[in-house]
């Protein structure tokens, strides 16, 4: 694009038409093999569908410039933003337990944006055409799944859960061919990085310890700089990733989020939630909840997520063995020493969050039982996960049936007694709960309605309304029954599909 000039929204003087990009690409300094240079495949007439203005501002980008129709060319990969160096990243991973070589088959990393606060975020296009890792795939993405990733990742962000984010969706106005023909789109995704457990598995699979070391050093520098100076930085790195993942999965459990495809290539070393495919928020509480149409055995069911995270971290440990000790047996002992801490660390995070959800300010030995009894009742009654906690955080129970249920009433009395033993009064407890129990989540049926309107006739009004609601998940003062009512009990079972 030729250099042009525009007036910014703030009325400041004319600035060069760059939008504020300040891209670097430290990842591309890793040894050859970690990536392949590849250019996005241009599309004929891209159009910007969604732009995340607050995120643009946080990144130091000018939303007014980005919103101009010419900018669709950046978000489609037709024109590269200043300083971009497009690459596809190499990685491997365990998919449903089996090791596979993967890599960015439909994503291109443009670079790392340096924000005005000096932070560094990957800028990645998802769906910009084939890469050397595409195998038989077309490297493209459909509009529906990209809008879906936008919605869910922004919901997670608003809930305060670490996540990659969505800066923009551009329609390619070219078809993609799946089971049916669908409109194509490209998502611009931002991330603390796209380093995955699978990236380390790839490095290990090359058999070159130098690759492993370069990647571990790079990861430490980028995400855990405080650990570069400790005595055993690689052991510390493994511990740190384990801790962030334990904390992350606990957060998912607290809001009923089911990732759906927790393969090791979909687990970020930064501790962010990444790769929104068949994910969804649970309506009625059930530990075996699965949404993904291909997860036949429930490997990635709600209640399995902590166990799977632990297993994934053990794959990371296994890939890192040569870095943990020069002697293999010793290395295994070190790895096992770290790995065995996962259940307890997870449980600590999980319990801390549950206490906040129940308005409890400090620990008592019976807390776990109190929480688990509630979950049992919720499961038996098919109670909505979000709304049960939302009800408990309010003054009256809107779920009249649950409120009248004898076991629930007995539980409620015990809970009230427990609250009564605290120094904090009920208002303080309620305030704590209202900071931890969302009033609004992206309800599956609302997401589907919004996507249907957007993809079938380009009507974005529902989608924009939904984005507005999920941007303030804890807004208890908003009365939006349409967005908080669970689906009818006889509604069809919600199914999700991998986002290709």
Our CB check for ligand AMP shows the closer of 90 and 220 to be 90
106 binds ligand AMP, rule: CB under 6 A: yes
Tell me the window of 17-25, 97-105, 109-117, 479-487 that interacts with ligand AMP (CB under 6 A).
97-105
149 binds Mg ion, rule: CB under 5 A: no
Residues of span 261-280 touching ligand AMP by CB under 6 A: 261, 265-266, 275, 277
Question: Tokens 């571990």 identify what position?
Answer: 216
3-state secondary structure of 51: strand
Considering all CA atoms of the chain, what is the largest pairwise distance in Å, rounded to the nearest integer?
71
Distance CA 445, CA 449 (A): 6
Spell out the residues 6+ positions from residue 24 whose beta carbon is closer than 8 angstroms to its own.
Answer: 83, 111, 112, 114, 120
Partner touching 106 among ligand AMP, Mg ion, none, CB below 5 to 8 Å by kind: ligand AMP
Which of the 8 DSSP states describes residue 492? Answer: P
We find the least distance from the C-beta atom of residue 275 to Mg ion, in angstroms, to be 4
Partner touching 8 among ligand AMP, Mg ion, none, CB below 5 to 8 Å by kind: none
Residues of span 272-291 touching Mg ion by CB under 5 A: 275
Which entry of 62, 104, 122, 265 is annotated as an active-site residue?
265
Segments in 299-425 forming alpha helices (H): 305-324, 328-339, 342-357, 367-381, 385-392, 400-404, 406-420
| Interaction pattern, residues 243-262, with ligand AMP; x per rule: CB under 6 A | ------------------x-
3-state secondary structure of 245: helix
Pairing of strands 15-16, 35-37: unpaired
Tell me the window of 7-15, 104-112, 183-191, 350-358 that interacts with ligand AMP (CB under 6 A).
104-112
We find the least distance from the C-beta atom of residue 206 to ligand AMP, in angstroms, to be 17
Our CB check for ligand AMP shows the closer of 108 and 392 to be 108
**Token reading at 484:** 């908080």
- Assess whether 104 carries a catalytic annotation: no
Query: C-alpha distances in angstroms, 350 versus 252, 255, 355?
Result: 10, 11, 9
266 binds Mg ion, rule: CB under 5 A: yes
Distance CA 354, CA 360 (A): 8
Partner touching 303 among Mg ion, ligand AMP, none, CB below 5 to 8 Å by kind: none
How many residues touch Mg ion (CB under 5 A)?
2
Our CB check for Mg ion shows the closer of 272 and 275 to be 275
Distance CA 299, CA 266 (A): 15
428-437: buried (b, 16+ CB within 10 Å) or exposed (e) per residue? ebbebbbebb
Sign, CA torsion 418/423/425/429? negative
Partner touching 58 among Mg ion, ligand AMP, none, CB below 5 to 8 Å by kind: none
Residues of span 460-499 touching ligand AMP by CB under 6 A: 498-499
Tell me the window of 96-104, 282-290, 336-344, 402-410 that interacts with ligand AMP (CB under 6 A).
96-104
Partner touching 244 among ligand AMP, Mg ion, none, CB below 5 to 8 Å by kind: none
Our CB check for Mg ion shows the closer of 253 and 266 to be 266
We find the least distance from the C-beta atom of residue 266 to Mg ion, in angstroms, to be 5
We find the least distance from the C-beta atom of residue 294 to ligand AMP, in angstroms, to be 10
Residue 96's Cβ-side half-sphere holds a number of Cα atoms within 13 Å equal to: 7
Which of the 8 DSSP states describes residue 3? Answer: -
Our CB check for ligand AMP shows the closer of 19 and 277 to be 277
Our CB check for Mg ion shows the closer of 201 and 275 to be 275
Q: CA-based angle 81:85:89, to the nearest 5?
A: 125
We find the least distance from the C-beta atom of residue 417 to Mg ion, in angstroms, to be 47
Dihedral, CA of residue 141, residue 147, residue 151 and residue 153, to nearest 10: 20
Partner touching 498 among ligand AMP, Mg ion, none, CB below 5 to 8 Å by kind: ligand AMP
Spell out the residues 6+ positions from residue 469 whose beta carbon is closer than 8 angstroms to its own.
Answer: 440, 478, 480, 483
Residues of span 121-160 touching ligand AMP by CB under 6 A: 134, 137-140
Distance CA 246, CA 349 (A): 7
We find the least distance from the C-beta atom of residue 196 to Mg ion, in angstroms, to be 8
104 binds ligand AMP, rule: CB under 6 A: yes
We find the least distance from the C-beta atom of residue 300 to ligand AMP, in angstroms, to be 12
Spell out the residues 6+ positions from residue 5 whose beta carbon is closer than 8 angstroms to its own.
Answer: 14, 15, 16, 17
Partner touching 162 among Mg ion, ligand AMP, none, CB below 5 to 8 Å by kind: none
Distance CA 292, CA 301 (A): 9
Active site positions, annotated:
265
Footprint of ligand AMP on this chain (CB under 6 A)? 102-106, 134, 137-140, 261, 265-266, 275, 277, 498-500
């Amino acid at each position: 694009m030729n250099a042009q000039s525009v007036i910014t929204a703030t009325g400041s003087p004319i600035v060069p038409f760059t939008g504020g990009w300040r891209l670097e690409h430290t990842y591309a300094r890793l040894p050859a093999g970690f990536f392949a240079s590849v250019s996005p495949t241009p599309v004929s007439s891209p159009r910007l569908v969604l732009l995340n203005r607050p995120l643009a501002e946080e990144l130091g980008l000018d939303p007014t410039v980005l919103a101009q129709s010419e900018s669709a060319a950046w978000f489609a990969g037709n024109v590269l933003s200043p300083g971009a160096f497009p690459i596809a990243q190499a990685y491997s991973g365990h998919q449903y337990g089996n090791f596979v070589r993967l890599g960015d088959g439909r994503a291109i990393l443009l670079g790392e944006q340096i924000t005005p606060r000096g932070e560094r975020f990957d800028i990645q296009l998802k769906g910009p055409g084939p890469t050397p890792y595409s195998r038989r795939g077309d490297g493209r993405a459909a509009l529906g799944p990209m809008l879906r990733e936008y919605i869910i990742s922004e919901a997670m962000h608003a809930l305060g859960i670490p996540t990659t984010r969505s800066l923009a969706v551009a329609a390619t106005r070219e078809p993609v061919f799946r089971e049916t023909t669908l409109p194509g789109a490209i998502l611009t995704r931002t991330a603390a990085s796209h380093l995955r457990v699978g990236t380390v598995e790839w490095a290990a699979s090359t058999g070159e310890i130098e690759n492993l070391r370069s990647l571990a050093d790079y990861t430490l520098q980028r995400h855990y700089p405080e650990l570069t100076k400790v005595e055993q930085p690689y052991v510390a790195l493994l511990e740190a990733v384990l801790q962030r993942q334990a904390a992350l999965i606990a957060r998912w459990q607290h809001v009923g989020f089911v990732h759906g495809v927790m393969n090791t290539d979909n687990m970020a070393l930064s501790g962010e939630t990444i790769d929104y495919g068949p994910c969804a928020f649970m309506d009625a509480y059930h530990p075996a909840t699965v949404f993904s149409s291909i997860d036949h055995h429930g490997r990635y069911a709600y209640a399995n997520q902590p166990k799977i995270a632990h297993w994934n971290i053990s794959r990371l440990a296994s890939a890192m063995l040569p870095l943990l000790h020069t002697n293999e047996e010793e290395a295994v002992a070190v790895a096992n020493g770290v790995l065995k801490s996962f259940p307890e660390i997870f449980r600590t995070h999980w319990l801390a969050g549950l206490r906040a959800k129940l308005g409890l300010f400090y620990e008592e030995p019976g807390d776990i039982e109190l929480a688990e009894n509630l979950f049992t009742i919720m499961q038996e009654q098919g109670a909505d996960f979000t709304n049960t906690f939302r009800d408990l955080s309010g003054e009256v129970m809107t779920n009249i049936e649950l409120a009248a249920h004898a076991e629930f009433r007995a539980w409620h009395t015990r809970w009230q007694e427990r609250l009564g033993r605290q120094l904090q009064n009920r208002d303080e407890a309620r305030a704590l709960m209202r900071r931890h129990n969302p009033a609004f989540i992206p309800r599956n049926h609302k997401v589907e309605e919004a996507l249907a309107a957007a993809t079938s006739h380009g009507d974005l009004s529902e989608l924009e309304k939904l984005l507005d609601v999920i941007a303030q998940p804890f807004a208890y003062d908003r009365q939006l029954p349409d967005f908080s009512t669970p689906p009818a009990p006889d509604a069809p079972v919600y199914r999700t599909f991998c986002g290709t």
